[in-house]
Every structure is written in structure tokens, then in C-alpha cells.
Amino acid sequence: MATSSSVDAPELRGRLHRKKSIILVLICTILGAAAQLLLKLGSADVDTSSLWLTAWSMATSVSLIGGLGLYGLSTVLFIYALRNEELSLLYPVISLTYIWVTIASVIFLGETISWWKIAGVAVIVGGVAYLGKGNGQQNLAGSPMVAESEGVQTK
Amino acid sequence: MSATMSSILLVLLASFVGSFGAVLLKSGSMRASGTPLSMILNPRVIAGCVTYVLSSVFFILAVRQGELSFLYPMIALGYVWTMLWSKLVFGEPFTKNKFVGIGLILVGVALLNLGRK
């Protein structure tokens, strides 16, 4: 066990911040996936026979209101997490939402899974994770490890 | 059935409209003084939130006639638009990694559509 004297305070704080941000974003992905599930379930409540009925049926659907509420909450939490942490670290985590939605669609909605879907989602997840990497390098030119070690004091 | 053609077009519309939401939020948050109240009351932030709701309305109409596991991943196309607006509005540079990310997203969406029934 490391004694407190061997770890300086900013380093420890940096690590705790990072852990907290990652857990926060992980919660965002679960809330985000639950939101999509509710939006899909609530979409059955929508009556498109007229513009007025479409708006009314959307505004009064409990599932849709719940879905939008969760989506909003997940977005606010994500923005909050972004304030303290590099995009390059959080984008790979946020891209997990696509995996949760695929799994939830099969389990809760009885949708079929195919190799096309698995391949498509896997490539999209990789793409979203890569986008964050591009953003991290924008501020910290050079290796992605710079973003990883940012905030951690080296001796 | 994975999805109808109209639901695919609605998802594309949702991702396109949603990308403006991100631009409005970013632009609003840059103008706001930084306190939570100044953020919430900023007209651009409010417009950004309205844009997100509008994008959600198109998404809800889309998933009515299609599989969530097929349509939701296509929302990632919004990143393509967002990267374009980031360059045009905020002057954020295109980087090699951004191109790789966008390329992978486009390939992923193409794979999904190749498997469409």
C-alpha cells in the first residue's frame, strides 16, 4: 500500500477526477440506452392522422416523456463530465451506448440480431472512439499518451 | 423487416437537425458568463435544446416503423455533420483521426444497410 507521502496531492486528485468522470459517463451510456428504449416503446403511442394529433399524442405519452427526460439527464451529466476530462478519454466510453442499445433491442424488444448489425455497430463504435482521439490531439499535439497522462505529475 | 425507407430518411433528418443543436449549445455556452443560470437562460442554449427536441421528434417518428437496433446506430451520422459545422462555424481543424472516425462511421452505417431486410 502506497503511503500518502509517496503520492503527491495533485496526482491523486487527477486520478480520482478521471475515475469519477469515467463512471459518470458510464452512467450516461446506461441512461442514454434506457432513453432510446423508452422512445421506441413510446413511438407506438403516436397518432399521425393529423399534425395536431401527432403533437398531442407525443406530448401525453408517459414513455416518450420519460425517454426524453432520461435523454436530457444523460446529456447534462455528459456535459458536466466533459468539463473536467479529455474528450479522447470519454468518447470511447460514450460509444458503448450503441452496444447497450443493440443488446436491449434484442432482449426487451425481441429484435433480430445479424452479423451485419454486429459488424456495423462494432465499426461505428470504433469510429466514435476515434473521433475523440482526433479532438484530443487538437490541443495536445503528438502521441495519444499525452492526453492519457495529462494532469498526472511525473517525477 | 429492419426498417422502411421513410424511417431511414427520418433518422437521417433527425441526425442532421440534431447536429445544429450541438452548434447552438457550444456557441451559447461560449457567450454565457459561466454560471449555471446564465447557461440555462442563454437564448442560443435554449434554441439548442429546442433543436434537440425537434430532432427527437423525427427520431420517434422514425423508430415507429423500424427496428431500434437498426435505426439508432445511424444517429452516429450526426458526427459527420457536427465535424463539418465545427470547421465552418468554429474553425476547428480537420485532423487525420477525425477523418478515420468519420470514415469508420460511414462504413458501419453502410454495413448495417447491406444487412437491411
Q: How much is the ipTM here?
A: 0.91
> From the list A111, A122, A133, which residue is nearest B97 (CB)?
A133
Please judge whether A120 and B109 are an interchain contact, meaning their C-beta atoms are less than 8 angstroms apart.
yes
DSSP string, A19-41: HHHHHHHHHHHHHHHHHHHHHHH
* Strand-pair partners of B3: B66
Best to test chain B binding among A130, A139, A146 (most B CBs inside 10 Å): A130
For residue B55, the chain A residues in CB contact (below 8 A) are none
Tens digits of residue pLDDT in B21-66:
989 988 888 888 878 888 888 999 999 999 999 999 999 999 999 9
Quick one: cell of B104?
469508420
Under 8 Å between Cβ of B62 and B14:
yes
| Candidate ranges A101-115, B40-54, B79-93; pick with highest mean pLDDT | A101-115
For residue B67, the chain A residues in CB contact (below 8 A) are 105, 109, 111-112
pTM of the model: 0.83
Q: How many residues does chain A have?
A: 155
